[in-house]
Amino acid sequence: MQKRRVGILISGRGSNMQSLVAAMRRPGFPAEPVIVVSNRPEAAGLEWARGQGIAVHAIDHKQYANRMAFEARLHQALLDAQVDLICNAGFMRMLTGGFVDRWMDRQLNIHPSLLPAFPGLDTHQRVLDQGALITGATVHFIRTEMDAGPIVAQTAVPVMPNDSADTLAARVLEAEHRLYPHALELVATGQVSVRDERVVMAAPVGRVPTLMWPPLG
């Protein structure tokens, strides 16, 4: 199978970008990183990607009159790199319907909760404030609504009694680093497709243990 060409969008250090690149460098992985784009020229992740031999491109959204002009430049950069799939990895820009439609079902995002619960910002503090016992992370196809779209994969993370927003965020981020490459592999190999705004698996999924938290005695 020909490797799918992946463009990664970041706004900061790009820790999920690093986990994706590490996975794509493994023998047999069905995708390869071809460009990293940031809307912030000072993003630390750009230098890291450059050191990995990946093409990088900074497109400062502040230099464009409106979102459509910024997205037109972003779209062209991805086309020039012959990108097949986009992975948003800490990309802190809402995208208009025009851009989303051009990349429909070819653009992934990761969010640090079990969507549709707790979309948006300050996720971990809201999880704690609501007294949730289990949280996690979600990889989904992007739609125009924030943190919405068909869900590709999720992982569950228990909330510990002494958690702060920071400790919970760190533990969820570790889970994100495992989940995102898994989801990308599912998409790149065609094991998932979208039908009626839901992800459909090409093959049946076997039974897995149920997570119960607190665990049964």
Instruction: Compute the distance between CA of residue 193 and CA of residue 105 in angstroms, rounded to an integer.
Output: 8
pLDDT tier, 12 (very low <50, low <70, confident <90, very high otherwise) = very high
How many residues would you count in the chain?
Answer: 217
How sure is the predictor about 208, in pLDDT bands with cuts at 50, 70 and 90?
confident
Determine how many CB atoms are found less than 10 A away from the CB of residue 122. Answer: 10
As given in the structure block, the two tokens for residue 195 are: 């039908």
pLDDT at 1 over 80: no
Per residue in 127-175, pLDDT (tens digit) is 999 999 999 999 999 999 999 999 999 999 999 999 999 999 999 999 9
The band of 216, judged by pLDDT with boundaries at 50, 70 and 90, is confident
Active site residue 140: no
Contacts of 113 by beta carbon, 8 Å cutoff, 6+ apart: 119, 123, 127, 135, 136, 137, 138
User: Of 111, 124, 140, 177, which is the active-site residue?
Assistant: 111
How would CATH label the architecture of 4-196?
A: 3-Layer(aba) Sandwich (3.40)
* C-alpha R_g of the chain: 17
pTM: 0.96
111 pLDDT above the threshold of 90: yes
The per-residue pLDDT for range 46-80, each reduced to its tens digit, is 999 999 999 999 999 999 999 999 999 999 999 99
What's the pLDDT at 190? 95
* Residue 90: alpha-carbon gap to chain centroid: 7
